[in-house]
Amino acid sequence: MDGVTGENLSNGGAGRSSGFFARERTIAGPKFNRWLVPTAALAIHLSIGMAYGFSVFWLPLTKLISGADPAVCSDIGFMTALTTTSCNWTVPQVTHIFETFIAMLGVSAALWGGWLEHAGPRKAGCIAALCWGGGLILGGIGVMVHQLWLVYLGCGILGGIGQGLGYITPVSTLIKWFPDRRGMATGFAIMGYGGGAMIGAPLAVLLMGHFSEGGGQGVAMTLMVMGALYVIVMSAGAIGFRVPPNGWRPEGWTPPEKDHGSGMITRKHVHLDRAWKTPQFWLIWLVLFLNVTAGIAVISMASPMLQDVFGGKLAGLADSATALTVAQKAAVVAAAAGLVGLISLFNSVGRLFWASLSDKLGRKNTYYTFFVLGIIVYSLLPTWGHLGLPSMFVISICIILSMYGGGFATVPAYLADIFGTQMVGAIHGRLLTAWSAAGIVGPLVIAAIRQAQLDAGIEPSLVYDRTLYIMAGLLFLGLICNSLVKPVKESDHMTDEELEYERSLQHDDMTASHADSAARGTFGAGGVLAWLAVGIPFLIGLYIALAKAAALF
C-alpha cells in the first residue's frame, strides 16, 4: 500500500487503532493519483443504483406459486401476505419493498453519517457492501421459502441500510480530493447511482431467464447471485479508497479569491450538530424535497402518460383514438418501454452534466436553472399532449429527468460550499431524509390527485394536466427556498479548537506534514484498468438503454 502504514506518526497517535479498516490506513501516499477515487465511488454507486431497477422483480414475485387457489387468495390482507406460503403476493404488496429501502436509505444516512466521517470510507464502504449485498441474499432466501416479511427484512431494511451508507460513503472523500471541481467529482459518483439500473436491470432479467429454465420464476437465485456479486464489487471499491492528508491541495491549485461574486463558498467549517439547526440546512432540505417530489411525479407517470395521451400515434396512426390491432398495441408498449430506457439514461448522465456545470455556474445558480426551466417544461407537457406532439413530450421528459438526477449530484457540493468540507458527508446524510420523505409522500400525493380526477369523471388522457401544473407549483416553491439560501453566520462556524478536535477524531492531526507530497503519482496502467472495470459495464448498460429507446424513433 502506498499510503501511511498505520504506524503512529506522533505521540498523539498512541493507543489508536491501526487495523486494516482504520481510517489512517487509507491516507494516501506520494504515489497515489486522485483520479482513482472516482472509480472506487462508481463501484459502490453502480451497485446500489440497482434500486432504480427493482421493478423488474415485481411481476415475477407475484407468480411464484403456480397452484394458488384464487378463491382463497383473492382477499388476503397485507399482514397475512407477510407469512402466507399458499397464496401469491400482489404487486402493491411487493412494491412497498422499494419504499422501505428508500426510507431506510435516508434514516441510515442520517443516523450514521457522523460515524462515517470518523470511521473513513473503507470501513463504511465494506459495511455497506455487506448490508446491501447480504440484504439481497437474505431477500432471495425469503423468496425461496415464500416469506414476504423476510424479503422486507433483507431487501428493504438491511438493504436500505446498505443503500444509505453506500450512498454517502464517497461524498466527503471526493469533495476533499477535488476542491477545484467539487460538482464534477460528486457527479461522477452519483451518476453511478442513476446508471446502476441500466446495468442491474438487464442482468436481473438475464439471470431470471437462466434460473427459470427448469420452471419457476428464478427470482430467488437471481437475488442471491446479484447480492454476492455486489458484495465483491462494493468491497473492492471500498478497499480502493484513499483519503487526502489534512491540508492537501491539487498541485498548482490555490483557492479562488472570489466565487462568481456571490460569497456563497465558505473557507470555514460548520459542525454537524450546528449545521442541521441552521435555516440554510432546512432551506436546502426543502429544495431537494421539492425537486425530488416533482421528478418522482414524472418517473411514476411517464410511461402510462405517454400511452394514455398519445395512444395510436405512437404506432404511426393519425388518430390517437383509433382502435389498435395487437401489433399496434405491441408497438405502443415498446415505445413506452423506450421512454423508460431514456429516463434511465438522462437520470444518470444528467447527474454528471449538471454537477460539472455547477462548478462554472455556482450551485445556487444551477438550482435556479433547475426550477425556472422545470416550471416551463412541466407546464408545457400538457400542451404537447393536446397538440399531439409525442417527440416534444419525450424531449421534455428527458430534460426533466436530467435535472432530477442533477439535483442529487449537485446538492453535496452545495452543502460543501455552505457548510465547509470537514463534515459534509455527515451533513449530506442528514439531508437525504428529504429524499426519503419525497419517496414516500410524493407517490401517495400523486396517486391521490390522479384518482380524485378519475373519480370526478375526467378522461384518462386529461387527468395528468392538473397534476403536472401542481408539480410546476412545487418547483416555484423550491425556487423561493433556493433564493433564501444565504451564507451561514460567523458564529455557526467551528472555532480553531473545535476543528482541531474534530480532525483528531478522524486522525487528520497525524498527517498534515505529508500534505505537500501526497498523491503526486501518475495515473498509470492501474488507473486505466480501474476505469475500464467500471466503465465497460456502464457502457454496456448505456447501449442497452439506447437500444430500448430506439423503439421511440
312 pLDDT more than 70: no
pLDDT at 14: 37
Cα gap 302→153, rounded to integer Å: 30
Rounded average pLDDT over 139-145: 96
Q: Lowest-confidence range among 23-37, 95-109, 301-315?
A: 301-315
342-383 confidence digits (pLDDT tens):
888 899 999 999 999 999 999 999 999 999 999 999 999 888
- Alpha carbons 474 and 465: distance in angstroms, whole number: 15
Higher pLDDT, 93 or 231: 231
Question: Mean pLDDT across the chain, nearest whole number?
Answer: 86
pLDDT at 60 exceeding the cut of 70: yes
Q: Distance between CA 526 and CA 165 in Å, rounded?
A: 27
Indicate the range of 223-237, 262-276, 309-323, 506-520 predicted with least confidence. 309-323
Which amino acid, residue 520?
Answer: R
- Looking at domain 265-319+326-509, its CATH architecture is Up-down Bundle (1.20)
Radius of gyration of the chain (CA): 24
Alpha-carbon dihedral angle through residues 481, 486, 491, 497, given to the nearest 10 degrees: 100
Tens-place pLDDT, residues 400-456: 999 999 999 999 999 999 999 889 999 999 999 999 898 888 777 777 887 888 888
Start-end ranges of CATH 1.20.1250.20 in the chain? 36-68+89-248, 265-319+326-509
Residue 28 near residue 120, CB atoms below 8 Å = no
Mean pLDDT of the 163-176 span = 92
- pLDDT at residue number 477: 97
Q: Give me the sign of the Cα torsion angle 499, 500, 504, 508.
A: positive
Tens digit of pLDDT for each residue in 98-122? 889 888 999 999 999 999 988 999 9
pLDDT tops 90 at residue 39: yes
Q: Please check whether the domain covering 36-68+89-248 is classified as CATH 1.20.1250.20.
A: yes
pLDDT value of position 553: 66
For residue 232, pLDDT over 90 is answered with: yes
82, 84, 130 from 149: Cα distances, Å: 5, 10, 20
Query: pLDDT at residue 226 above 50?
Result: yes
pTM of the model: 0.87
The average pLDDT across 480-508 equals 88
For the segment 474-493, what is each residue's pLDDT rounded down to a tens digit? Answer: 999 999 999 999 999 999 99
| pLDDT interval class at 23 (50, 70, 90) | confident
Q: What is the pLDDT of residue 318?
A: 57
